[in-house]
């Protein structure tokens, strides 16, 4: 049977051992967990503040992609994790646009030919989101997003063969500290990009309804100049 060899290869991987090896590295584990937790904070605050908005499906997609990222990194599947990480950022971009475009969201659901990309969303914010251009110049969002997106897309599109992969067959899949470090660093940068995007767009509308604890977490790590540019306080 053709599935026999595949079955042997899949069962040859000690998935449990891969996860066990990863979780013993407390630094990487804690960094991965902290990044995922920040996305969970965003999800909870937006689900509450923007309750009933159909565009929240993108926030749920973001949160699931973040969870898949943790699962894939733990299992030693680093290049597949890259796809989930990019989904996190793209879902954030889509939410930032479709939350105020219900008609286009309905079109997206029924018409497979309708599509908007990263550039379209950013151009929308440049024109329609108050003070977005001035703010992003001070917080460095757009240059950071473009550089990050270009790098991860090159990995996913096969432009850098072997990137994020330390094996040549299924049965060789195992924990790699080097690959895990790359994946987690990329995930952390994705979180910083999403944070700057949300703080300069959706949070401008919902900030007053966020909990103080959440505000502290979402502003932590930002420079004084970035906080001033975003004009968001802890009150």
User: pLDDT tens for residues 225-234?
Assistant: 999 999 998 8
- What pLDDT is attached to residue 159? 84
User: Is residue 9 assigned to a domain?
Assistant: no
Q: Cα–Cα distance between 134 and 126 in angstroms, integer?
A: 9
Instruction: Assess contact for 72 and 224: CB atoms under 8 A.
Output: no
Q: What is the pLDDT of residues 50-93, one digit of tens each?
A: 999 999 999 999 999 999 999 999 999 999 999 999 999 999 99
What is the average pLDDT score of the chain? 95
Cα–Cα distance list, 96 to 13, 40, 50 (Å): 40, 17, 12
User: Is residue 2 assigned to a domain?
Assistant: no
**How many domains does one find in the chain?**
1
DSSP class of residue 171 equals G
**Residue 231 falls in which region: left (phi positive, over 0), alpha (psi -120 to 50) or beta:** left
State yes or no: pLDDT of 41 exceeds 80: yes
Residue 45 tokens, joined: 């605050």
Across the chain, which distance is largest between two alpha carbons, in Å?
65
Percent helix, strand and coil across the chain, each to the nearest 5: 75, 0, 25
User: Is residue 235 assigned to a domain?
Assistant: no
- What pLDDT is attached to residue 167? 87
Cα–Cα distance list, 53 to 48, 49, 93, 100, 178 (Å): 10, 10, 16, 9, 41
Q: 168 falls in which pLDDT band (50, 70, 90)?
A: confident
The residue that leads in pLDDT, 3 or 21, is 21
Domain housing 26: 14-230
């Amino acid at each position: 049977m053709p599935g026999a060899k595949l079955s042997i290869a899949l069962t040859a991987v000690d998935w449990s051992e891969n996860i066990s090896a990863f979780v013993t590295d407390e630094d990487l584990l804690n960094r991965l967990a902290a990044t995922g937790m920040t996305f969970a904070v965003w999800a909870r605050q937006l689900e509450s503040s923007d309750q009933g908005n159909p565009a929240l499906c993108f926030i749920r997609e973001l949160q699931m992609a973040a969870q898949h990222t943790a699962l894939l990194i733990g299992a030693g599947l680093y290049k597949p994790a890259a796809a989930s990480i990019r989904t996190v950022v793209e879902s954030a971009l889509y939410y930032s646009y479709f939350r105020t475009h219900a008609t286009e969201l309905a079109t997206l659901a029924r018409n497979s030919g309708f599509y908007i990309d990263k550039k379209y969303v950013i151009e929308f914010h440049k024109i329609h989101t108050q003070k977005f251009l001035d703010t992003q110049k001070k917080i460095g969002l757009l240059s950071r997003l473009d550089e990050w997106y270009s790098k991860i897309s090159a990995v996913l599109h096969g432009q850098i063969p072997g990137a994020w992969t330390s094996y040549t067959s299924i049965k060789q899949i195992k924990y790699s500290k080097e690959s895990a470090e790359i994946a987690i660093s990329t995930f952390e940068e994705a979180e910083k990009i999403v944070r700057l995007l949300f703080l300069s767009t959706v949070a401008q509308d919902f900030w007053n309804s966020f909990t103080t604890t959440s505000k502290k977490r979402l502003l932590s790590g930002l420079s004084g100049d970035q906080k001033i540019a975003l004009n968001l306080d802890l009150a």
